[in-house]
Every structure is written in structure tokens, then in C-alpha cells.
Chains A and B, each alone.
Chain A
Amino acid sequence: MSTKEPEAMTLETFTQGLWKDNPVFVMLLGLCPTLAVTNSAMNALAMGLATTFVLIASGFLVSLLRNVIPKQVRIASYIIIIATFVTMADYGIKAISLDLYKALGAFIQLIVVNCIILGRAEAYASKQTPVKSMINGAGMGFGFTLALLSLGVVREILGSGTLFGIQIMPDRFQTWSVFVLPPGGFFVLAGWLMLFTWLRERKSKQEAL
């Protein structure tokens, strides 16, 4: 998917990142934030949206400047652009809610080194039109958010008995704190990956029949 020439805009432009090339589940990129901030669904959502913002904005700008930026300083320019938007997101979240900012910690700023973003800039935005880059970036971003949420929701419900901070399990429910602790992050992601592998295997087995 990386070296495509400009192509027609299809639904695929958007959905690619949602499922087929999901950055977390399929491409295994950006694992650090995926595991670090998903001990609650809210953190996962905020992180996902912040990343989506950076993806869209940097995709747009990189695409816009794609014919201006010389090849030699390409990566350096992308990094400056990305870092700019990340810093904006950082300040934005701080301005919206200090609690959220504290929970996400340095991981908002670490979006800058998230390889999904530089990867998109390099592989997609630098070759496609601004609108398509934004749409594709949004797809990737939502795919990332989706992955974060699927971890965050499981971890929060099992680990704290709540969802988005609202208690949803009965009072006497025994919470499984391991899921909000660091090992739980690894376990839940491994669990999801195994589930997908299992589904894929089952499907190919059925097709083979």
C-alpha cells in the first residue's frame, strides 16, 4: 500500500486504516501509547482523537507542500510539521482538562515519534492530494482510536468496573486490577491479536472446505 501512485478516491481511502491496515492490530505500530494510556476508555479516546487530529492536520499540510519540499529535507520538514501539531494538541488538551492531561502524561507529546504518523506522511500524504490525505489520515486515526478503545473498554470494565468513569458493574463485582496494571495492557492486546488470528484461521479453514 505504501508506494501507490495518485489514485481515485474511494471509500477504501477512508476505511483502509479502520480495518484492513489497522495501525495497531495489523501493522503493530504505535504500541507504546496503545498500551500506556488505555487503562481507561476516556484516556484511550482522548489519545485516539489527539492522534487523529495530528494525522489529519499533518497529512493535509504535508500533501499541500508535497511539491515544494525538496527530497533531501523531506523527513526533517515532516518532523517539524508533525511536532508543531503535536505541541498544539498538547496545549489544547491542557487547556481543556488538566485531569486528562495528567492522566495522559508525556504520551501526548510522544505522538510525535509515533511511527504511524511519519509513516503516513511519507507513504501517503507526500504522494496524494490534500483532501485524500486528510480523509486517509482520518481513517487511520479512527482505526487507531478504535484499537485504543477496544483495549481501553476491556481494561476499564474489568479493571475498575466502570466505563468512561461511570460505574456499570454491580457494587459487589470483584474488579480484576491486573487489567489496569501494566501487565494487563500486554495481556489484553495479546488477547485481541489472538482472537483475530483465530478468526482468520477459522475463516480460511471454512473457505478451504
Chain B
Amino acid sequence: MSEAVQLKTSPHLRGMHSVDKIMRHVVYALLPVSLFSVMQFGLSALALIVTSVLVCVGTEHFFCKRSGTESTVSDWSAVITGLLVALILPPGFPLWMAAVAAFVSIAVGKVFFGGLGYNVFNPALVGRAFAQAAFTVPITTWTPGMAHRRFLEFIPTTLTPPFLKPDFDAFQIWVESLKIDGYSGATPLAMMKFDHIEVDTLELFLGTLASSAGESSALLILLGGLYLAFRKMLNWKIPVAVLGSAFILSGIFYLQNPEVGLPIYPSPFFTVTSGGLMLGAVFMATDMVSSPVTPVGVWIYGILIGSLTVMIRLFGGLNEGVMYAILLGNAATPLINNLTQPRIYGATRKRKEKAA
């Protein structure tokens, strides 16, 4: 018997989850959504996803090596960031711009604050918000899904050389060559906002319309989320709060619609299935690093995001507000945490007794 003395302190048991395992499962849950986007948008979406993931992982690896620490890419979180960055960009987004967005998401959104666990904003959204402000035109140019040659050729804007503008004339010619009936280049959200045309919610749910690469199928996103929720790797309260509050709030406005004529406000079903709300609620508002930890705080956070999204969509200048809503939710997170510290066991009674 060896007598090596090694005092370890309790507890000596550990739960089942570890950080890399959780992250890996989130990647699994994102795979169906990613595959669907490739199916819908073809080669360009594939190239977008590959570029973004490689740049994210590469950036993280580079900065770890630079600072002389062990590379942290094996925790899989950079892969999630990369996937999500790709999934919230328009499918024909120039690859070099996607690389910029991915780089910014890791370098500014994550490494800058100290890496995994310390970022105060959702890294993927930092990347996307930066790209949105930097490349305003390309990021609002949408491509129709299910184009028949999508597996044979890239969307013309995809392969724009670095630092150059995409060639929108070539893009226009390409879109026209697809001969899609009634295609206007607008997303369902823009059509709702500016023309008050509401597309069929079922189509949104199944995902057959123009949108960001990974926002189209609410169904697949929901399935991925349910998988994670049941494995307890995702806080189900956040998506429930986000979607629930968005549903209720937009429902209230929906009831204000005039009896005749075009609807001013979309139906609550449209609200929760359109745009990035589903993806944002399930995969991005739930990024635990940038969301509150307290039981009550989580609900406040979710409701804040849901209602901000609806307010921006209905009354703002943008037709989509999920990204900004989540970033604002992230910004409010420390305050929410601060205000909602749970009442600890045995606390109020003491105070009451003192008062008495």
C-alpha cells in the first residue's frame, strides 16, 4: 500500500456535464439547421459556414498562441460562434466580409474580454453587429432559396475579392436568370414592415423563404433547442420567456389591426416564426456567458429581449431587431443579476424579526 498523502477536499463527486461536452452538444443541435441552410442555399451557404468556423477557430488559436497559453479551441465554443455567425448572415454574403465578422466576433467579442466565460456580449452577435454597421449594403441583400443551380454555382456575390465591393449588377442578372415568380429580394419581415404583406406562417415554420442562412426553419431550430433543453444543457426558461413575451406583445398589437385593408401589425405566429427570432431565442439569448444566472433574472432578461424585438420590428427603422435586442439584453445582464439576487434561505425572516 502506498502511503502517498494527498488531502483532497469534498465534494468528491461531480455531475455529468463538462463545458466541452455541453458545447459539443450545442454543435450537434446546430447541425440540422446548418445542413438545412446548405440544402436551401447550396454551395454558397456551405462556403459561408466553413469560412466562418475556420476563421473563428483560427482566431482563437492564434490569440492563445500569441499570449503563450494553451490553445482553448478544444472546448468547442469557438465552433458554435463560427456556426452562428454564418447562420445569421445572408447566404450570398461575400466570404471575406464573413471572415471579418468571424474575426471580430472572436477577437473583439471574446478574446478581448479574457476569453471563454468572460465576454459580456454574445460574441457571434458582436461580429454580426459590426458587419451590419460596416457593410450595410451587402448585409441587407437577400437571395432566394432553393435556386435550381445552387449546388453547381456560387451566388455571384459570395466570391467577391477581399476589400472590394460585391458586384451587384452581376447579382441582379443572376437573380433574374433564376426566373422566380414575384421574387422581390425582400425577406418576409421587410415585406411585412413596408408593404404589410404577411406570408404564410407554415412556410416560415418549415423554412422555405428568403432569409439569413440559418434562420429559415423554425421547426429545426426548435427541435435542436428541445434536444438541448431535455439534456439540461440549455436554460429552457430563456427561449420560453423570449418567444412568449414576443408572442403576447405582438398579439396585443395584432388585435389593434383595422378591420379592413392591409394589416398593420403581423400576427403573433408570424412574429415568432419569422426572421431570426427563433434562432436568437433558442441559441443566442441562451448563451450563458452573457445572460443572467438568477432564477428571476432569467425571466426578466427573456422578456426584455422578446419585447425589445417586437418594439424594434413594429416601431423602429429596422425590420429585424433580434440581434440588437439580445445585445441590449446582454448589456443589461449585470444590472439584472444585481437586482434579482435570490432571497437567501433564512434572510427575510431575520429582517422581519428585527423590524418587529
Contacts and interface: CB of A to CB of B under 8 A. Distances in A.
B133 interface: yes
A73 B135 CA distance: 53
25 contacts: A172-B164, A172-B165, A173-B163, A173-B164, A173-B165, A174-B97, A174-B135, A174-B138, A174-B163, A174-B164, A174-B165, A174-B166, A176-B134, A176-B135, A177-B133, A177-B134, A177-B135, A177-B136, A178-B130, A178-B133, A178-B134, A179-B134, A181-B133, A183-B133, A184-B133
Closest 6 CB pairs of A and B: A178-B133, A178-B134, A176-B134, A172-B164, A174-B165, A172-B165
Contacts of B138: 174
Contacts of B97: 174
B140 to A, nearest CB: 12
A183 B133 CA distance: 9
Chain A's interface size range is 10 to 19
Contacts, number: 25
Contacts of A183: 133
Interface in B19-57: none
Contacts of A173: 163-165
Interface string B145-164: 00000000000000000011
Interface in B61-117: 97
Q: Of residues A173, A174, A179, A183, which shows the largest number of chain B Cβ atoms within 10 Å of its Cβ?
A: A174
B102 to A, nearest CB: 16
Contacts of A181: 133
User: Interface majority SS on B: helix, strand, loop or mixed?
Assistant: mixed
Contacts of A174: 97, 135, 138, 163-166
B99 to A, nearest CB: 13
Given A178-B133, A178-B134, 7 more contacts: A172-B165, A174-B138, A174-B165, A174-B166, A177-B133, A177-B136, A184-B133
Contacts of B130: 178
Contacts of B164: 172-174
Q: Of residues B133, B135, B136, B164, which shows the largest number of chain A Cβ atoms within 10 Å of its Cβ?
A: B133
A178 B104 CA distance: 13
Contacts of B163: 173-174
Contacts of A179: 134
Interface in A169-200: 172-174, 176-179, 181, 183-184
A177 B163 CA distance: 13
Nearest to A191: B108
Contacts of B135: 174, 176-177
A172 B133 CA distance: 18
B190 to A, nearest CB: 20
A173 B135 CA distance: 12
A182 B133 CA distance: 10
B120 to A, nearest CB: 15
Nearest to A169: B163
B163 to A, nearest CB: 6
A176 B101 CA distance: 12
Contacts of A177: 133-136
Interface string B120-140: 000000000010011110100
Contacts of A184: 133
A184 B133 CA distance: 9
A146 B143 CA distance: 45
Nearest to A171: B165
Nearest to A194: B112
B320 to A, nearest CB: 18
Nearest to A176: B134
Interface in A34-87: none
Contacts of B133: 177-178, 181, 183-184
A152 B274 CA distance: 40
A172 B138 CA distance: 13
A169 to B, nearest CB: 9
A174 B131 CA distance: 12
Interface string B241-278: 00000000000000000000000000000000000000
A195 to B, nearest CB: 14
Nearest to A183: B133
A183 B132 CA distance: 12
A177 to B, nearest CB: 6
Q: Of residues B134, B135, B138, which shows the largest number of chain A Cβ atoms within 10 Å of its Cβ?
A: B134
B138 to A, nearest CB: 8
Q: Of residues A173, A176, A177, A183, which shows the largest number of chain B Cβ atoms within 10 Å of its Cβ?
A: A176
Interface string B211-244: 0000000000000000000000000000000000
A13 to B, nearest CB: 38
Nearest to B138: A174
